[in-house]
Amino acid sequence: MTTLIKNIKELLQVRETSVSKVSGAGMAELPTIKNAFLIIKDNLIADFGSMENLPEIKVDKVINAEGRIVLPTWCDSHTHIVYAGNREQEFVDRINGFTYEEIANRGGGILNSAKKLNETSEEKIYEQSKLRLEEVMRLGTGAVEIKSGYGLTIEGELKMLRVIKKLAENYPISIKTTFLGAHAFPTHYKENKAGYIDEIITKMLPEIAQNKLADYVDVFCESGYFSVEETEKIMQAGIEFGLKPKIHVNQFNSIGGIQAGVKFNALSVDHLEIMNPEDIEALKGTETMPVALPSCSYFLSIPYTPAREMIKAGLPLALATDFNPGSTPSGNMNFVVATACIKMKMTPEEAINAATINGAYAMGLSDTHGSITKGKKANLIVTKPISSYYQIPYAFGSNLIEDVIIEGEII
Ligand SMILES: [Zn+2]
């Protein structure tokens, strides 16, 4: 099956040779081709270029993209979209003046989601989660990372990971799976934190590794959750079971989580709302991708990741949604890109790089996703007719997507 997309007003994120990520000043460069064509063969990008160089080939299908922008689908490297129920009551509690930490101390927060998850059947969790996955695909996401972390028991964690596996089997979108048993301490381990960490390391990790249920290991490294020392212990154990770390750090406090992540060669360190100069310094020259989650900052009214300082320091930056029931009940990457421009003062070029190639890197997928490169997955967003790609962040409340193509098929 060969599909030709012709008369593309502008084809974005064109990389003749694959790059794994872009950093610092390189983030401002978004290579494009105006008046372009793109050829899809089966599920891959086979060719692209200017319309004047369109080769004479037989195709099965033609899409006329006149007036439309085409770009790679979003790569959302940080989500928790497998969960049960919702936390809309806490949302209203917060409007009424309670803080995230106060709600957590009252038995809300992650423990509330864990209670619901453990009470809900695997089938029901799958049914609820697949609707969210379908929604994010329609919003232009073509690769996504999904975490466990609402089980906090071996049964609950395995149940979540099996749901993620089933989603990966049943949908064309690429899914990477992260084990986040260290998301919070369950109530019955409140007075015995070492006991829970021991359960993660000696019971959960071996079972997960044996059944190949996860690609990465994650820890919520934060005051009141997992200390730096505990985070390091879990990262070390994860690595021994073949799971590279991707960790939650610096959301509310800078306690040394970034330095720990770098020390263990984490694929990414995520959140980064609170960044000291030493945190930025620690990331320089490393293979660890910093990931910002601006819709979480928006929803919780907490600081935004200081993107300008980080880019100025030469760092790369990826953008992701953090789609979860408590702090970010939205998986809309278009909103993330717009919010990064509006609130973090990233340029449209930087934000699109952060949400495509750098997001792919933060999932270990930059060989196959995140740019218009021959041989990569034919995962594409075709916009409605728009004046320029600036519209994507500028018209932040509008849905500008006409078609989403995943693995060569319009979904
Ligand atoms: Zn998260």
Predicted confidence (pLDDT) per residue in 63-77, tens digit: 999 999 999 999 999
Q: How far is the CA of 178 from the centre of ligand 1 (A)?
A: 11
Residue 289 is predicted with a pLDDT of 98
- What percentage of residues in the chain have a pLDDT greater than 70? 100
Residue 105 is predicted with a pLDDT of 77
Q: How far is the CA of 356 from the centre of ligand 1 (A)?
A: 19
Q: How far is the CA of 50 from the centre of ligand 1 (A)?
A: 40
Flag whether pLDDT at 103 surpasses 90: no
If phi > 0 it is left, if psi is from -120 to 50 it is alpha, else beta; for residue 112 that is alpha
Q: How far is the CA of 249 from the centre of ligand 1 (A)?
A: 10
Residue 18 is predicted with a pLDDT of 86
CA distance 11 to 382: 10
Residues 6+ apart with CB under 8 A from 216: 145, 176, 177, 178, 179, 238, 243, 244, 245, 246, 267
CA distance 159 to 179: 12
Residue 68 is predicted with a pLDDT of 98
Evaluate whether 201 touches 241 at the Cβ level (below 8 Å): no
Predicted confidence (pLDDT) per residue in 174-183, tens digit: 999 999 999 9
CA distance 165 to 162: 5
- E strands, 220-317, in order: 244-249, 268-271, 289-292
Flag whether pLDDT at 147 surpasses 90: yes
Residue 143 is predicted with a pLDDT of 98
Flag whether pLDDT at 100 surpasses 80: no
Q: How far is the CA of 27 from the centre of ligand 1 (A)?
A: 24
Give the Cβ contact number of residue 202 at 10 Å.
11
Residue 94 is predicted with a pLDDT of 86
What does the mean pLDDT of the chain come to?
A: 96
Q: How far is the CA of 79 from the centre of ligand 1 (A)?
A: 6
User: What band does 122 get if pLDDT is binned at 50, 70 and 90?
Assistant: very high
Evaluate whether 279 touches 254 at the Cβ level (below 8 Å): yes
Q: How far is the CA of 393 from the centre of ligand 1 (A)?
A: 23
- What percentage of residues in the chain have a pLDDT greater than 90? 92
Flag whether pLDDT at 111 surpasses 90: no
| Nearest one of 28, 38, 31 to 4, comparing CA atoms | 38
Helix pair 122-138, 154-170: axis angle to 10 deg: 40
Q: Output the six-digit token pair for 168.
A: 């990966």
Residue 13 is predicted with a pLDDT of 98
Predicted confidence (pLDDT) per residue in 28-73, tens digit: 999 999 999 999 999 999 999 999 999 999 999 999 999 999 999 9
Q: Which amino acid is at 372?
A: I
Record the pTM.
0.96
Q: Output the six-digit token pair for 369.
A: 């996703």
- Strand-pair category, 318-319 with 268-271: unpaired
DSSP codes joined into one string, 121-145: -HHHHHHHHHHHHHHHHHTTEEEEE
Q: How far is the CA of 80 from the centre of ligand 1 (A)?
A: 6
Residue 64 is predicted with a pLDDT of 97
Predicted confidence (pLDDT) per residue in 176-234, tens digit: 999 999 999 998 998 999 999 999 999 999 999 999 999 999 999 999 999 999 999 99
Spell out which residues have Cβ within 5 A of ligand 1, the ion: 322
Q: How far is the CA of 399 from the centre of ligand 1 (A)?
A: 25
DSSP codes joined into one string, 278-294: HHHHHHTT-SPEEEE-H
Q: How far is the CA of 247 from the centre of ligand 1 (A)?
A: 9
Q: How far is the CA of 336 from the centre of ligand 1 (A)?
A: 14
Q: How far is the CA of 292 from the centre of ligand 1 (A)?
A: 10
Residues 6+ apart with CB under 8 A from 202: none
Flag whether pLDDT at 344 surpasses 80: yes
User: What band does 296 get if pLDDT is binned at 50, 70 and 90?
Assistant: very high
Residue 101 is predicted with a pLDDT of 78
Q: Output the six-digit token pair for 227.
A: 């200390």
Q: How far is the CA of 21 from the centre of ligand 1 (A)?
A: 22
Q: How far is the CA of 322 from the centre of ligand 1 (A)?
A: 5
Element (H, E) at 300: helix 294-300
Q: How far is the CA of 73 from the centre of ligand 1 (A)?
A: 21
Residue 260 is predicted with a pLDDT of 98
Q: How far is the CA of 33 from the centre of ligand 1 (A)?
A: 35
Helix pair 333-344, 348-355: axis angle to 10 deg: 140
Flag whether pLDDT at 171 surpasses 80: yes
Q: Output the six-digit token pair for 61.
A: 């299908």
Among 92-106, 159-173, 209-223, 314-328, the minimum mean pLDDT is found in: 92-106
CA distance 237 to 383: 44
Q: How far is the CA of 56 from the centre of ligand 1 (A)?
A: 48
